[in-house]
């Protein structure tokens, strides 16, 4: 926690600090109680004063966006020599902490549901001609974890700060890249024009980032690697490849191929060829995917080579090997699944293995 802000401090005679949420490369984040309106909010402040003007200007831009899939910006002020941004508090965690921490990848139905929500929020910002510039899993909040009760893009108010720090990075030097936590987190999702200062950043720069995040959720890998490797692969226009398991399940193949096509279009090196956010909203709206909520269980039994069971509340839930996306779980593994009525047992589909709990 920042040493100058403590629990129970009251900022600006209104916002009482009730918890420390965490920090990013550019800011500290707190949970605060708005005594004026009687609600909990997120209170953010930059780590240093060098970027406060950018912090202010970006907060003004972010306040123009009003959409269910964008965290609302409520207030901005200077107090005792520091800048503060008041934002809608999402009762959850970012995608890195809530989802990627628990699974390596997710099935195409889940990915479709999640990224349909994200692209609608991104389209709302683009309608206002606002570029996020720093779209990545840690800047997308979810509540309800795998049920995706709420999905909200956040940190429009500090994206300019992140951009200003990245401008000073020598992208040909591994040490220069690793010296910046902001750069390390952002590079896997950065478009060519965001790395090459000779190119112009625009709305479709966010589309590249959207596609890179989507690739990671569908495959478990970052599309072009990390650090200096990613920089070189992105600038060289390295061919995008997908693991075989993405298309190997017959029941999921059609939707997987559609998502692969979307990702490839987003990660097109030629800026002008990439789709717009509105194009992608229309594309996702035409996809046929399940919106059924997910459950977490564990594999309780296996019969023969293809029949498996998940421990259920009343009866065990059956799933066939062709219901699995990715690596096959074994007895005792935790799995993520949707449950459908069946006789004599309900059926789980699709089924995704959850990462083992680290000891």
Q: What is the pLDDT of residue 60?
A: 81
* pLDDT band, very low/low/confident/very high, at 27 (cuts 50, 70, 90): confident
What span, in angstroms and rounded, lies between the C-alpha atoms of 69 and 101?
Answer: 22
- pLDDT: is 352 or 52 the higher one? 352
Q: Are residues 36 and 166 in the same domain?
A: no
| CATH number of the structural domain spanning residue 258 | 1.10.510.10
Q: What is the pLDDT of residue 182?
A: 60
Structurally, the chain folds into a number of domains equal to 3
Q: Give the model confidence (pLDDT) of 274-283 as tens digits.
A: 999 999 999 9
Q: Are residues 161 and 279 in the same domain?
A: yes
CA-to-CA separations, 152 to 72, 266, 267, in angstroms, rounded:
9, 20, 22
Least confident piece of the model among 52-56, 196-200, 325-329, 355-359: 52-56
Task: Report whether pLDDT(294) > 70.
Answer: yes
Q: What is the pLDDT of residue 105?
A: 97
> Looking at 267, 286, 305, which one is the last position of a domain?
286
Q: String of b and e for 36-48 (b: at least 16 CB within 10 Å)?
A: eeeeebbbbbbee
Q: What is the pLDDT of residue 323?
A: 95
Domain contains 147 = yes
* pLDDT band, very low/low/confident/very high, at 167 (cuts 50, 70, 90): low
Q: What is the pLDDT of residue 258?
A: 98
Q: What value does the mean pLDDT of the chain take?
A: 89
**Does residue 206 sit in helix, strand or coil?**
helix
Average pLDDT for 179-205: 79
**Residues spanned by the domain of 305:** 295-353
Q: Are residues 83 and 115 in the same domain?
A: no
List all residues 6 or more positions away from 83 whose beta carbon is below 8 Å from its beta carbon. Answer: 45, 46, 52, 55, 56, 76, 77
Q: Are residues 52 and 161 in the same domain?
A: no
- pLDDT: is 161 or 241 the higher one? 241
Q: What is the pLDDT of residue 67?
A: 95
Task: Report whether pLDDT(2) > 60.
Answer: no
Task: Report whether pLDDT(207) > 80.
Answer: yes
Q: Are residues 30 and 145 in the same domain?
A: no
Q: Are residues 73 and 174 in the same domain?
A: no
The burial class, CB within 10 Å (0-12 / 13-18 / 19+), for 145 is middle
Q: What is the pLDDT of residue 240?
A: 94
And the tokens for 170? 């020598």
Average pLDDT for 224-240: 90
Domain contains 76 = yes
Q: What is the pLDDT of residue 312?
A: 81
Q: Which residue has the tokens 């907060």?
A: 59
Least confident piece of the model among 42-51, 84-93, 217-226: 42-51
Q: Are residues 70 and 116 in the same domain?
A: no
Domain contains 50 = yes
| CATH number of the structural domain spanning residue 321 | 2.40.50.140
What pairing do the DSSP bridges indicate for beta strands 307-310 and 150-153?
unpaired
Percent of the chain with pLDDT over 90: 66
- pTM of this structure: 0.90
Q: Give the model confidence (pLDDT) of 97-106 as tens digits.
A: 999 999 999 9
Q: What is the pLDDT of residue 184?
A: 56
Peptide bond into 344 cis (omega under 30): yes
Q: Are residues 159 and 20 in the same domain?
A: no
Domain contains 133 = yes
Q: Are residues 52 and 150 in the same domain?
A: no
Q: Are residues 225 and 115 in the same domain?
A: yes
Average pLDDT for 221-237: 91
> Looking at 236, 265, 286, which one is the last position of a domain?
286
Domain contains 26 = yes
Domain contains 244 = yes
Q: What is the pLDDT of residue 201?
A: 86
Domain contains 38 = yes
* pLDDT band, very low/low/confident/very high, at 169 (cuts 50, 70, 90): low
Q: Are residues 58 and 107 in the same domain?
A: no
> Looking at 286, 314, 345, which one is the last position of a domain?
286
Task: Report whether pLDDT(177) > 60.
Answer: no
- Strand residue runs (E) in 2-144: 10-11, 15-23, 27-34, 39-46, 73-79, 82-88, 93-94, 140-143
Task: Report whether pLDDT(174) > 80.
Answer: no
Q: Are residues 111 and 187 in the same domain?
A: yes
Domain contains 1 = no
């Amino acid at each position: 926690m920042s040493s100058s802000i403590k629990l129970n401090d009251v900022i600006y005679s209104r916002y009482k600090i009730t918890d420390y949420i965490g920090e990013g490369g550019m800011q500290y984040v707190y949970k605060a109680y708005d005594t004026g309106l009687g609600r909990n909010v997120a209170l953010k402040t930059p780590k240093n004063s060098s970027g406060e003007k950018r912090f202010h200007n970006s907060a003004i831009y972010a306040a123009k966006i009003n959409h269910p899939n964008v965290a609302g910006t409520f207030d901005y002020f200077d107090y005792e020599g520091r800048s503060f941004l008041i934002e809608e508090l999402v009762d959850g965690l970012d995608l890195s902490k809530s989802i990627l921490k628990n699974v390596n990848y997710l099935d195409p139905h889940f990915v479709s549901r999640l990224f349909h929500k994200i692209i609608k929020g991104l389209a709302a910002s683009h309608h206002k001609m606002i570029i996020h510039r720093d779209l990545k899993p840690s800047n997308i909040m979810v509540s309800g974890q795998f049920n995706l009760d709420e999905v909200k893009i956040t940190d429009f108010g500090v994206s300019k700060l992140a951009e200003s720090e990245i401008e000073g990075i020598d992208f040909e030097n591994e040490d220069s890249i690793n010296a910046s936590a902001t750069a390390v987190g952002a590079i896997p999702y950065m478009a060519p024009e965001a790395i090459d200062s000779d190119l112009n950043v625009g709305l479709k720069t966010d589309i590249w980032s959207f596609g890179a995040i989507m690739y990671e959720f569908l495959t478990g890998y970052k599309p072009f690697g990390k650090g200096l490797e990613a920089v070189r692969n992105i600038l060289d226009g390295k061919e995008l490849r997908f693991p075989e398991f993405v298309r190997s399940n017959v029941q999921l193949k059609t939707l997987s191929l559609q998502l692969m096509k979307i990702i490839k279009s987003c990660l097109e090196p030629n800026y002008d060829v990439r789709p717009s956010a509105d194009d992608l909203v229309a594309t996702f709206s035409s996809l046929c995917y399940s919106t059924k909520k997910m459950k977490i269980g564990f594999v309780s039994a296996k019969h023969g080579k293809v029949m498996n069971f998940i421990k259920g509340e009343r009866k065990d839930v059956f799933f066939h090997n062709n219901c699995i996306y990715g690596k096959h779980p074994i007895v005792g593994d935790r799995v993520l699944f949707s449950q459908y009525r069946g006789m004599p047992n309900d059926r789980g589909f699709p089924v995704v293995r959850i990462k083992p709990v680290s000891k």
